[in-house]
Each structure stands twice: as C-alpha cells, then as structure tokens.
C-alpha cells in the first residue's frame, strides 16, 4: 500500500521539511537483500543520495531483524526550497522505514551527525487514515 510520510517542523526559527510517497514490501527469505526504486520523473541527485544513505543506515542497523527481501519504492519526495537539506531527507527516510516496520529509530538517529534534529526524536507520527503520517 502506498503511504505518505512528512516531517514539517520549525526549531529555533529554522524550518525542516521532507517527506515521501513510499511503498515497502518485505518477504521473509533465507537470504537478506534490498531492492530500491525511484519512480520519479525529475529527481535531484542530492535527494536521491540522501535517501540512499538513509536506507543504507536503516538496512545496516536492522538487517538481522529483516531476514528476507526488502523492496522500497519511492514515488515522490516532498521538499521545500528553503527548509529541505540532505540531513532532513536522510532523517525522514530513516524515520519512515522505522515507523513502517515498527522498529526503534533511536539507535540510528541518536548519532552525532543528526544532532541538529534531536528535537524530532521524541515526536511521533500522527495519522487520520493509516495512509498519511505527519510530524508537524
């Protein structure tokens, strides 16, 4: 099922905005692997690299819990010119995948490189319809 995840928050007068329309499938299997596809016509290389980095962080941290084939399809990346940087895209994809698979995001996102986003770690995604999730 396609779901939308967005983080749009302000802290110390700095805006943070990123989100995804994403579909994930997991099938238990003897071997672990991940397949990633971007189904976006015009995709900025900086957003793609930030997504791949976040997905690799997630996969490395949880590969043992996700023994099988993980398929991730990103249909859209939501961003805003002033408020979106690579770090919030990476952070948001990790939060998205952890929420999707009901895993704790803190082992990944309490790293020093995410220090500017620590204020987001205690906030949970909210939803009204089980297909759209927001931190605002």
pLDDT confidence of residue 117 = 96
Q: What is the pLDDT of residues 54-106, one digit of tens each?
A: 999 999 999 888 888 999 999 999 998 888 999 999 999 999 999 999 999 99
Q: What is the pLDDT of residues 22-46, one digit of tens each?
A: 999 999 988 888 999 999 888 889 9
**Phi, psi for residue 106 in degrees, rounded to 5:** -60, -40
> Which residues does 63 contact at the CB level (< 8 Å), separation at least 6?
32
Which helix H or strand E contains 62, and what residues bound it?
helix 45-62
* Structural domain for 70, as ranges: 3-135
What's the number of domains the chain is made of? 1
Distance CA 136, CA 130 (A): 16
Percentages helix, strand, coil for the chain (3-state, rounded to 5) are: 35, 35, 30
Q: In this structure, what CATH number is given to the domain that contains residue 83? A: 3.30.230.10
Category of 130 on φ-ψ map: left (φ > 0), alpha (ψ -120 to 50) or beta? left
pTM of the model: 0.94
């Amino acid at each position: 099922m396609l779901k939308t995840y967005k983080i749009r928050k302000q802290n110390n007068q700095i805006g943070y905005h990123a989100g995804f329309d994403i579909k994930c499938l997991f099938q238990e299997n003897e071997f672990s692997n991940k397949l990633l596809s971007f189904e976006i016509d015009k995709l900025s290389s900086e957003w793609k690299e930030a997504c791949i980095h976040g997905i690799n962080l997630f996969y490395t941290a949880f590969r043992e819990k996700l023994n099988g084939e993980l398929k991730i399809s990103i249909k859209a990346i939501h961003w805003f010119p002033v408020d979106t940087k690579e770090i919030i895209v990476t952070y948001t994809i990790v939060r998205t995948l952890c929420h999707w698979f009901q895993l704790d995001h803190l082992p990944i996102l309490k790293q020093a490189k995410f220090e500017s986003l620590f204020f987001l770690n205690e906030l949970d995604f909210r939803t009204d319809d089980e297909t759209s999730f927001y931190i605002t």
